[in-house]
Amino acid sequence: MNFENTLSFAQQLDENDSLKKFRERFHIPQHNGKDAIYLCGNSLGLLPKSARSFVEQEFQDWEKFGVEGHFNAKNPWFPYHHFGRKMLAEIVGAKEEEVVAMNSLTANLHLLMVSFYQPKGARKKIMMEANAFPSDQYAIETQVKFHGGNPETDIIEISPREGEYTLRTEDILAQIEKNKNELALILFGGVNYLSGQYFDLKKITDAGHAAGVTVGFDLAHAAGNVTVQLHDWNVDFACWCSYKYLNSGAGGVGGIFVHEKHSANNDLPRFAGWWGNDEQTRFQMKKGFFPQTGAGAWQVSNAPVFAMAIHRASLEIFSEAGIKNLRAKSEQLTAYLEFTLNDFNQKNPEHELKIITPTNISERGCQLSLIAKKDGKKIFEQLTSHGVIADWREPNVIRMSPVPLYNSFEDVYRVGETLMMINGTRI
Ligand SMILES: *Cc1c(COP(=O)(O)O)cnc(C)c1O
């Protein structure tokens, strides 16, 4: 599409947007009495207006039933993790039994590594992308140590080539091939939090499996952002958080995927808890863990109903909008942001905001990551004071993520307009 950097063009795109009504389902933070331009859905998604009534229902049932709410609540707490599971599965391209909402992301990373990182003999190493989110680095480092390994030698980080910001798929695949006899696990991000690069999960999975290696993904920045097909791609396991693109509130419940091919394997090591036990025998309080089938077997504790109530409110919106439709709009919205930024750069080369996220649409989600030629922090602060809520990641990256559920093309146009204004007057 040929874009134009004008307000009327942006408004026309909004007019034609079949998903535009979803913006009204969210509370948009305010700046000087007007809607802020919120581009931080990659960090903390906005509050769905419906979430309050979902939580209120649980308050009412707790008030009314006490412990009997486990069975008598409108949405009984005993099977609560089943509600919303189908919608969650759709978002990550999985079967219902292959996903479950539980715990939080880093805790789940550990639990899944307990099962799927089994260093043996010469195969001890974990491959990951360089510049992964710190929590993932710490989790992987300490898992290696837990098994008596040495993080210095047992973690292989794949870095961009000199002078580049993102990874080439061919380089990832070549490294898998090169290290194939020493790898125990490949654990990559789906979308890298810093560069916004969306990795080729299918190719990485295929290459890993061809080398006899287990492959898992941290989808913190992918879930609800891009369309993944975890089941069809034969991914072994994955996990994600729900407070970024999935709009389920700070510290919200995480989610996991375990491919069904693993669900009959009761020999996998795991750190179990009662909620992962077969539901028929869970309350018999007998000795001997007997896992239920599917990802639910990895549950440790009973479901955090209040966090999951918010999660369900958000999942219903996703289900109504459709993840494929959202992705289609997202591609256009982000392309429009790229266009307005390029226009700014062309007119203001001295303050170029270099886009380090891939230009190829299939290699990115919503997010564009920018490195300023100069005054990066100042530009970021000026944007904030003008109601453009982006974020800053040390040492020098500004991240902007227009989200198709609640951002408009006009929002994106205003980013460019604001940049022009602050460049003219203040930097
Ligand atoms: C946001 C994020 C986390 C945060 O982990 P929590 O356990 O939810 O605090 C971890 N890893 C990645 C890749 C993230 O993007």
Q: Which domain holds residue 339?
A: 7-35+323-422
Q: Are residues 155 and 257 in the same domain?
A: yes
Short-list 304, 330, 392, 323, CA closest to 43: 392
135 lines ligand 1 (CB under 6 A): yes
Q: Are residues 240 and 365 in the same domain?
A: no
Residue 47 within a domain: no
Ligand 1 atom with least separation from CA of 218 = 13
Short-list 356, 351, 334, CA closest to 419: 351
Ligand 1 atom with least separation from CA of 136 = 11
* Distance from C-alpha of 212 to C-alpha of 208, rounded to nearest angstrom: 6
Q: Are residues 63 and 119 in the same domain?
A: yes
Q: What is the CATH number of the domain that holds 379?
A: 3.90.1150.10
pTM of the model: 0.96
- The residue among 284, 302, 320 that closes a domain is 320
DSSP 8-state symbol, 369: E
C-alpha 83 to ligand 1 mean position (Å): 24
Integer CA distances (angstroms), 207 to 96, 136, 159, 187, 364, in order: 26, 22, 18, 13, 21
218 lines ligand 1 (CB under 6 A): yes
Give yes or no for a contact between 240 and 222, defined as CB atoms under 8 angstroms apart.
yes
Ligand 1 atom with least separation from CA of 193 = 15
Residue 339 within a domain: yes
Q: Are residues 206 and 182 in the same domain?
A: yes
Q: What is the CATH number of the domain that holds 73?
A: 3.40.640.10
Q: Are residues 157 and 60 in the same domain?
A: yes
Short-list 242, 253, 250, 195, CA closest to 92: 242
* pLDDT tens, residue order, the chain (427 aa): 799 999 999 999 999 999 999 999 999 999 999 999 999 999 999 999 999 999 999 999 999 999 999 999 999 999 999 999 999 999 999 999 999 999 999 999 999 999 999 999 999 999 999 999 999 999 999 999 999 999 999 999 999 999 999 999 999 999 999 999 999 999 999 999 999 999 999 999 999 999 999 999 999 999 999 999 999 999 999 999 999 999 999 999 999 999 999 998 988 999 999 999 998 887 777 789 999 999 999 999 999 999 999 999 999 999 999 999 999 999 999 999 999 999 999 999 999 999 999 999 999 999 999 999 999 999 999 999 999 999 998 888 999 999 999 999 999 999 999 999 987 665 5
C-alpha 118 to ligand 1 mean position (Å): 23
- The residue among 288, 320, 352 that closes a domain is 320
